[in-house]
């Protein structure tokens, strides 16, 4: 297939995934800030939401203070923020339009419908309730798009590139949530893993829809080390880094088999997957979660570049 | 006159370039006024160089290099024997009817000012030839010709309004006027050998040719205010600069391009004169 | 001036081809017709929304109105029209091969040389270059208008990148969906084999170096082009890649597509980019839509461009007036399709007539485009006429003149019910090494404003399905 087509399919999925992620961050942050400070509200939640979204520089330029209004505005409809929800959906649709015939009509309808609907939300003044509905709607768009792709796309290279976009983005998002939580949410005088940040860790689990899963898997109160275990190493947890890499590696192998040629992307993905499989969470904490995550994010970006060089340019 | 030409067109790129394609019109042909004794054109990186001919009869080289390349230089070395024919161009390859050169192009599009100028300055002259001489002198008086050194052309109308232009646009001004007066006119790119008597010599240069029924093609170099003599080496012709440009190229990547051009054209003397 | 009506001829008769349609129109309950019209609009709006959306606000504006009453041609009418189209396109291709090759028609004085040589569409790059099978215009859209029962005039030859064929196909699609009963009472020749014929045409002109299964692609200026919907539609129906300039790369005079499996050689390019923009190294250097070096590959014989570069010289306004002579010179036959009578003002006698009859004529500047520099005599005031009189005296060679035409009308749904509206017809003619083919019918365009002769979609024109009855 055309490299540009593959590239667009890949980015359509990445942008939709990113839009959903932003909605999840905003949803969880709103909940967290509603708590009385004694239960974990540290006053830095909105700043942390910006950090988790990975756009602190752009935000600092556009606004001064990280409060609810500024951050929500910046991450949802701000046209100047390249990764606001609005711009993610716009980018997804624009990429989709350029390769319209490579998508199924269900996928296109999901995106095009979302784009038209988004403009209705954009014009409204939203109260908190309305805003919550909007965030649910964004998550829903992603579910519908993802489901359409899963149910209607031919299982060939187009599908695999589209999936690679989903999982690379998801891995990056999960890693960022963990990293920001680890460093920023924690008040300076609190020891990492202390009891006060219980609600904050719960929030992390909420951000990745894993609160129930956590209880099923560990049957314990929420503990940082177990949250990290779930989100980094547990392959049963669909947003964990290990699960993402299992998928990435599988789809890259499908590409390699179909094209009759393996390349650096396949080798790199397998190496990262092997690392995740051979690591115990205790070792991660001994060497430092932050260092581990930082290295992972770098590797994940590197894989993105490798895929680009190998297939998409 | 025997003229030795060495011309280097060098590029370097801050970011390496890939898939370089260049279309080179850098090789002269023989006609009554010039004989090509030797000519070499050599890129300094690996690639494929293919020669062909364009509609005007110019020799065109297509050069392809895959890269990545961080620096590229094309070197031209040649020796030409010229004769002064007072601007007349005879015995050359003419592939398309001269009527083609009556067309206006983007770079020679006329405006009211140019048209008025062309009519005014040629009003007193009798024959087509004397009108063209009058036009050359008038363009030469009006336009201040400046060294190119990285400056890009702007086209006849804009150059005329600015009264100051690089050689290619001075030629465009003249061509636009000649075409308005109903005469076929074309663009010439070439070299002029170093000479104390010429204000614009020693290097790459551009002038124009006009077709007159009784004489055929005749060159007019407004920048030097004369019809080309034996200091002038014709390399390529076209409807305008874009059509006869020495180099047209494309590449991928290669941000931060830096262009370096060295031209030397001078009379060959002494024991090297025949080599 | 009473126009010929496709349904009722010149008076109150009912032409046989429309009998069943007329009955149906009379019997069908108005609510049902209204419902079908809105369903048709919905269908197109859906495609429109899917494809024609540009920015935020203009979502639905780009719909071209569709009229549900078809325009009907009988088999004998079409047979004659088709023979005329084949003849015309054959002549167009022979003319192009000639002006870029031996120039016999110029030597024979069929057409003044300056019309060719001074024409900016006469591409010097093509001089003495032989295209595969001598075919230049692979896809032609010949605009014809009808003035009476037996006479079709050619209004314009579109020999560059004619568009609209997707509307021809979508119009039929929507009619089949909405009015299946009509198709059981009419034997309508199908049009949905157009993509197959186009593909066969493109394959037939692949360069000799190509394999028996040549790689074909469709080159579009991109999603911001107004015809992008059609490009995408056609690529999909043809089963070929829809590429933008940046998807192609030229290396050693060979064109490749960038694919996920590395560069893939391309043999035939159905290009919907104009000559001027197709190669920044050969034509306009400021073009970012094109493919650097593609003309080099083309001239090395490694890729076929459809249509060929330089076909514009054949559909130029000035050259148009010589088409009857051109057809005769190259085919040795009398032209089956007439031109709109045209006065060439460069000829003194013609110019004298034009100057005497300015208030009756349409005067067009030969190098002007899109209605620019045009005088419509019957609608012009004295001052405008005098301005043109001066222009015509000063440079007669720059103008042609034509009588104002009564284009035929066809019953059309308008706000007040069914009323006659002026129509034209654009049939699509394909030329390949495998011969000439022409899908029965074409795209009928209709001027929706009462009395208007302007069928362009940009000025309130709509489209209709075009039926050629098989029996």
pLDDT in tens, B162-214: 999 999 999 999 999 999 999 999 999 999 998 878 887 768 999 999 999 98
Count each helix (H run) and each strand (E run) in chain A, helices first: 15, 0
| pLDDT band (50, 70, 90) for residue A87 | very high
Q: Name chain A contacts of C235, Cβ cutoff 8 Å.
A: 101
User: Which pLDDT value is given to residue A54?
Assistant: 82
Using CA atoms, how far apart are residues A192 and A201, in angstroms rounded to an integer?
A: 11
Question: Cα(B138)–Cα(A106) distance, rounded to whole angstroms?
Answer: 70
Name the interface residues of C facing B (CB cutoff 8 Å).
113-114, 117-120, 122, 124-128, 249-253, 280-282, 284-285, 292-293, 296, 299-300
Say if CB B214 and CB B235 are below 8 A apart. Answer: no
Does A195 score more than 60 pLDDT?
no
> Which residues in chain A touch residue C49, judged by CB atoms under 8 angstroms apart?
112
Give SS3 for C263.
strand
Q: Which of the residues A8, A77, A98 would you substitute to probe the C interface, choosing the one with the greatest number of C C-beta atoms within 10 Å?
A: A98
Q: Using CA atoms, how far apart are residues B41 and C252, in angstroms rounded to an integer?
A: 18
C-chain residues near B62 (CB < 8 A)? 253, 293, 296
- Calculate the average pLDDT of chain B: 91
Q: Which DSSP category does A64 fall into? A: S
Which helix (H) or strand (E) is B45 found in, with range? none
pLDDT band at B232 (very low <50, low <70, confident <90, very high): very high
Share of chain C above pLDDT 70, in %: 94
d(CA C144, CA C154): 4
**pLDDT mean over C307-314:** 95
C281:B250 CB<8 A: yes
What number is the average pLDDT over the span C94-117?
95
Inter-chain CB proximity C127 and B249 less than 8 Å: no
What pLDDT, on the 0 to 100 scale, is given for residue B7? 94
Using a CB-CB cut-off of 8 Å, the residues of chain C touching B56 are: 124
Instruction: Give the Cα separation of A100 and A9 in Å (integer).
Output: 10
Please enumerate in sequence order all residues whose Cβ is within 8 A of that of A58, keeping only pairs 6 or more positions apart, or say none: A74, A80, A81, A82
End-to-end CA distance of chain B: 15
Once rounded to an integer, what is the mean pLDDT over residues C298-318? 93
Cβ atoms within 10 Å of B45's Cβ, excluding its own: 15
Q: Which of C114, C117, C250 sits opposite B21 (nearest CB)?
A: C250
Could you tell me which residues come within 8 angstroms of residue C102 by beta carbon, excluding any fewer than 6 positions away? none
| pLDDT of C57 | 43
Q: Helix or strand or coil: residue C312?
A: helix
State residue A290's pLDDT score: 85
Check pLDDT > 90 for residue A139: yes
- Reference B135, options B121, B155, B124; nearest CA is B121
ipTM value, please give it.
0.89
Of residues C56, C223, C247, nearest to A97 (C-beta): C223
Q: Is C125 on the interface with A (CB under 8 A)?
A: no
DSSP per-residue codes, A72-123: HHHHHT-TTSTTSHHHHHHHHHHHHHHTGGGS-HHHHHHHHHHHHHHHHHHH
CB C263 within 8 A of CB C257: yes
pLDDT at C458: 67
Closest residue of chain C to A313, computed from CA coordinates: C258
Please tell me whether residue C362 adopts helix, strand or coil conformation.
strand
Q: Does B247 touch chain C (CB under 8 A)?
A: no
How long a stretch of residues is chain B? 275
B51 touches chain C (CB under 8 A): no
Measured between alpha carbons, how far is C398 from C316 in angstroms, rounded to an integer?
13
Q: In angstroms, what separates the C-alpha of B55 from chain C's closest C-alpha?
A: 5
Rounded distance between C-alpha atoms, residue B34 and residue A217, angstroms: 90
**Higher pLDDT among residues A187 and C379, named by residue:** C379
Inter-chain residue contact C260 with A161, CB threshold 8 Å: yes
Nearest-angstrom CA–CA distance, C343 and C431? 30
pLDDT at A12 over 70: yes
Look at residue C59 in the predicted model and tell me its pLDDT.
44
Cβ–Cβ below 8 Å for C59 and A98: no
Higher pLDDT, B147 or A85: A85
Q: Which residues, 6+ apart, have CB-to-CB distance to B197 below 8 Å?
A: none
* Residues in a beta bridge with A129: none
Of residues C50, C56, C257, nearest to A108 (C-beta) = C50
Nearest CA of chain C to the CA of B52: how many Å?
9
**pTM score, whole prediction:** 0.88
Who among C51, C236, C260 is closest to A3 (CB)?
C260
Q: pLDDT exceeding 70 applies to what percent of chain A?
A: 92
Question: Are the CB atoms for C87 and C80 separated by under 8 Å?
Answer: no
> Chains meeting C at 3+ CB pairs closer than 8 A?
A, B
Residue C38 has pLDDT above 60, yes or no: yes
Q: Residue count of chain C, please give it.
A: 471
Flag whether pLDDT at B64 surpasses 60. yes
Task: Quote the pLDDT of residue B239.
Answer: 96
Is B54–C281 a contact, with Cβ atoms under 8 angstroms apart?
A: no
- Give the confidence band of B215 by pLDDT, cuts at 50, 70, 90: very high
Instruction: Provide the 8-state DSSP code for A156.
Output: S
Residues B157-167 pLDDT 10s:
999 999 999 99
The residue ranking higher by pLDDT, C136 or A79, is C136
> What mean pLDDT comes out for the span A162-176?
95
Q: Dihedral sign, CA of A87, A90, A91, A92?
A: positive
Among candidates C49, C59, C242 on the partner chain, residue whose Cβ is nearest the Cβ of A101: C242
């Amino acid at each position: 297939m055309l490299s540009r087509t593959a590239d667009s399919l890949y980015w359509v999925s990445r942008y939709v995934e990113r839009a959903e992620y932003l909605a999840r961050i905003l949803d969880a942050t709103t909940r967290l800030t509603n708590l009385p400070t004694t239960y974990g509200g540290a006053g830095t939640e909105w700043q942390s939401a910006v950090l988790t979204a990975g756009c602190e520089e752009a935000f600092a330029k556009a606004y001064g203070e990280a409060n609810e209004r500024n951050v929500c505005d910046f991450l949802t409809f701000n046209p100047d923020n390249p990764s606001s929800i609005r711009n993610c959906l716009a980018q997804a649709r624009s990429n989709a339009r350029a390769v319209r015939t490579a998508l199924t009509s269900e996928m296109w309808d999901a995106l095009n419908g979302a784009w038209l609907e988004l403009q209705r939300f954009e014009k409204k003044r939203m109260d908190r309730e309305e805003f919550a509905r909007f965030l649910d709607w964004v998550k829903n768009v992603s579910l519908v798009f993802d489901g359409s792709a899963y149910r209607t796309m031919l299982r060939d290279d187009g599908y695999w590139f589209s999936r690679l976009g989903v999982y690379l983005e998801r891995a990056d998002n999960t890693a960022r949530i963990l990293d920001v939580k680890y460093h920023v949410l924690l008040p300076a005088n609190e020891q990492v893993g202390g009891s006060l940040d219980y609600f904050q860790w719960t929030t992390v689990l909420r951000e990745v829809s894993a609160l129930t899963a956590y209880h099923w898997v560990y049957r314990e109160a929420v503990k940082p080390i177990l949250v990290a275990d779930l989100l980094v190493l547990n392959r049963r947890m669909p947003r964990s880094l290990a699960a993402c890499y299992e998928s990435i590696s599988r789809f890259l192998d499908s590409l390699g088999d179909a094209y009759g040629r393996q390349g650096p992307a396949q080798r790199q993905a397998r190496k990262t997957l092997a690392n995740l499989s051979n690591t115990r969470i205790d070792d991660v904490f001994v060497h430092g979660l932050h260092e581990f995550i930082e290295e992972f994010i770098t590797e994940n970006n590197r894989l993105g570049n490798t895929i680009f060089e190998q297939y998409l340019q | 006159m025997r003229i030795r030409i060495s011309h280097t067109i060098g590029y370097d790129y801050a970011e390496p370039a890939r898939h370089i394609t260049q279309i080179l019109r850098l090789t002269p042909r023989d006609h009554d006024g010039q004989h090509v004794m030797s000519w070499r054109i050599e890129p300094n990186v690996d690639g494929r160089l293919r020669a062909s001919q364009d509609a005007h009869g110019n020799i065109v080289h297509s050069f392809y290099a895959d890269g990545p390349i961080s620096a590229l230089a094309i070197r031209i070395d040649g020796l030409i024997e010229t004769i002064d024919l007072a601007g007349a161009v005879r015995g050359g390859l003419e592939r398309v009817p001269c009527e083609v050169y009556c067309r206006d192009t983007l770079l020679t599009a006329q405006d009211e000012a140019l048209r008025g100028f062309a009519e005014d300055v040629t009003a007193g002259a009798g024959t087509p030839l004397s009108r063209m001489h009058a036009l050359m002198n008038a363009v030469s008086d009006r336009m201040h010709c400046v060294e190119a050194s990285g400056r890009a052309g702007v086209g006849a109308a804009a150059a005329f309004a600015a009264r100051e232009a690089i050689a290619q646009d001075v030629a465009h001004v003249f061509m636009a006027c000649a075409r308005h007066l109903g005469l076929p006119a074309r663009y010439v790119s070439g070299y002029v050998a170093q000479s104390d008597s010429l204000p614009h010599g020693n290097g790459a240069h551009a002038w124009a040719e006009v077709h007159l029924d009784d004489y055929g093609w005749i060159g007019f170099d407004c920048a030097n205010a004369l019809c080309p003599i034996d200091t002038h080496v014709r390399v390529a012709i076209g409807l305008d600069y874009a059509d006869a440009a020495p180099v047209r190229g494309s590449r991928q990547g290669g941000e931060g391009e830096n262009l370096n051009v060295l031209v030397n054209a001078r009379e060959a003397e002494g024991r090297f004169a025949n080599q | 001036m009473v126009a010929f009506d496709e349904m009722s001829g010149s008076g109150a008769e009912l032409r046989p081809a429309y009998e069943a349609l007329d009955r149906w129109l009379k019997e069908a309950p108005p609510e049902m017709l209204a419902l079908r019209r809105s369903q048709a609009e919905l269908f197109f709006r859906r495609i429109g929304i899917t494809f024609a959306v540009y920015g935020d606000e203009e979502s639905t504006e780009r719909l071209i109105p569709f009229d549900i009453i078809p325009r009907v041609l009988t088999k004998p009418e079409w047979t004659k029209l088709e023979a005329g189209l084949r003849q015309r396109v054959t002549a167009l291709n022979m003319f192009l091969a000639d002006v870029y090759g031996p120039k016999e028609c110029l030597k024979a004085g069929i057409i003044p040389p300056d019309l060719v040589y001074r024409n900016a569409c006469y591409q010097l790059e093509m001089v003495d270059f032989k295209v595969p099978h001598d075919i230049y215009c692979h896809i032609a859209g010949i605009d014809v208008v009808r003035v009476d029962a037996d006479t079709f005039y050619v209004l314009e030859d579109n020999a560059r990148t004619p568009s609209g064929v997707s509307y021809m196909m979508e119009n039929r699609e929507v009619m089949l969906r909405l009015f299946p009963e009509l198709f059981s009472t009419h034997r309508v020749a199908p049009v949905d084999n157009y993509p197959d014929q186009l593909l066969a045409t493109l394959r037939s002109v692949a360069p000799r170096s190509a394999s028996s299964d040549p790689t074909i692609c469709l080159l579009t200026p991109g999603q911001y082009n107004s015809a992008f919907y059609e490009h995408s539609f056609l690529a999909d129906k043809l089963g070929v890649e829809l590429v933008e300039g940046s998807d192609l790369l030229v290396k050693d005079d060979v064109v490749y597509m960038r694919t996920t499996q590395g560069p893939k050689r391309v043999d035939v390019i159905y290009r919907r980019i104009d000559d001027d923009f197709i190669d920044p190294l050969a034509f306009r250097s400021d073009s970012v839509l094109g493919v650097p070096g593609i003309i080099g590959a083309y001239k090395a014989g490694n890729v076929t461009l459809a249509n060929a570069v330089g076909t514009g010289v054949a559909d130029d306004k000035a050259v148009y007036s010589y088409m009857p002579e051109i057809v005769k010179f190259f085919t040795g036959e009398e032209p089956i399709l007439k031109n709109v009578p045209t006065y060439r003002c460069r000829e003194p006698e013609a110019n004298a007539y034009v100057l005497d009859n300015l208030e009756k004529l349409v005067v067009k500047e030969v190098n002007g485009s899109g209605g620019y520099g045009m005088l419509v005599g019957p609608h012009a005031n004295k001052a405008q006429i005098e301005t043109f009189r001066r222009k015509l005296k000063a440079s007669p060679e720059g103008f042609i003149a034509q009588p104002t035409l009564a284009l035929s009308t066809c019953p059309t749904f308008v706000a007040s019910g069914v009323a006659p509206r002026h129509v034209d017809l654009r049939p699509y003619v394909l030329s390949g090494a495998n011969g000439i083919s022409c899908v029965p019918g074409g795209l009928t365009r209709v001027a929706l404003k009462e009395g208007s002769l302007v069928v362009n979609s940009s000025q309130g024109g709509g489209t209709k399905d075009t039926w050629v009855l098989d029996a």
